[in-house]
Structure 1
């Protein structure tokens, strides 16, 4: 199975309310918007094609972020939480996709190597795979096609794929990535300042 057949789904609709109302997709990291950084990571990790779900300030995001051949999907219901973005993204995946790697736009510490490890776990048979950090589940997450409908049905509010992963905890494969990635997400100005200082 070629890794290029595994699409990535970047959830980038958040309004960044706790970041002062800056849409997370446009928060700058190392001189470029977080959306551009996330797209580069999943591509370098071996995913393709790439779908990104936009919400807050989506027209500004389209105008300012360089997204290349990424399929941009608008989620008018983005304010209802991450669940609606996951549903919108799953609905936009190419027909026949055997799995999808779900990436959050506000996790700049995720690296291409972490993505590669999840794709390798899928090649080895994993149908629900999550990056782990010190043994604790984090992001990104890989969902096999057999679970797409269930993932969409359980994606409500800010839960995302949480219900799916909880329902199949016994079959969830955790892939340790703590040696190659950092799980922090950026929710507050303090998070952003701390990450910027540590990342250099």
Structure 2
């Protein structure tokens, strides 16, 4: 399995700052790391190949991610919804490495508390034959989500702001039990920091 990490960091964070003056992904956490840097570090701890999707004029997010070793790609259509960013990243992954990716671990740039062990468990589920693997804690599903090659056509056909939500509803999802509250914890408002 040649899995690629995908870090979706192309949202505008309007709930965090409706005026758009402060990029939530660049806000420091308690340890001083910007939100997106912490998210990327956890993903890079599991997969050496991480593609980070950013919007045009990202305010410095791309620079922070390149400094960590992420492959950064700009999605010009990012404002049309999460699906555009995800499709953009998957397409990019098919040509990025010599063999192209055949599995994807899709993480969100505003979820810096997901443990690397959770991500490893999702990849292990894919390696064990799952087509889609998602973490579950106390009966509740969270993020990130891993997709196998069988779902490539469906991933490339995604549209709108729901991302892969429809695919998760229409396909069998292998639920991986974890003890990681980070699968639910995103940064949507300044209070979440």
Q: TM-score, normalised by structure 2?
A: 0.87
1:154-169 aligned at under 5 Å gives the runs 154=158, 156-168=159-171
1:65-104 aligned at under 5 Å gives the runs 65=65, 67-95=67-95, 96-104=100-108
Q: Is there any run of 5+ residues in structure 2 with no aligned partner, and where?
A: none
Are the equivalent residues in 2 in contact too, given 1:129–1:175 (CA < 8 A)? yes
SS, match of residue 185 in structure 1: coil
Q: How many aligned positions are there?
A: 184
Measured after TM superposition, the shift of residue 38 of structure 1 is 1.5
**Higher helix proportion (structure 1 or 2):** 1
1:75-154 aligned at under 5 Å gives the runs 75-95=75-95, 96-154=100-158
In 2, Cα distance between the equivalents of 1:85 and 1:17?
17
Q: TM-score, normalised by structure 1?
A: 0.84
SS, match of residue 62 in structure 2: helix
> 1:145-164: CA deviations, max 9, x gaps?
1212212212x222111111
Measured after TM superposition, the shift of residue 63 of structure 1 is 3.4
SS, match of residue 67 in structure 2: coil
Over aligned residue pairs, what C-alpha RMSD do you find?
1.8
Measured after TM superposition, the shift of residue 187 of structure 1 is 1.0
SS, match of residue 107 in structure 1: coil
Q: Is there any run of 5+ residues in structure 1 with no aligned partner, and where?
A: 193-200
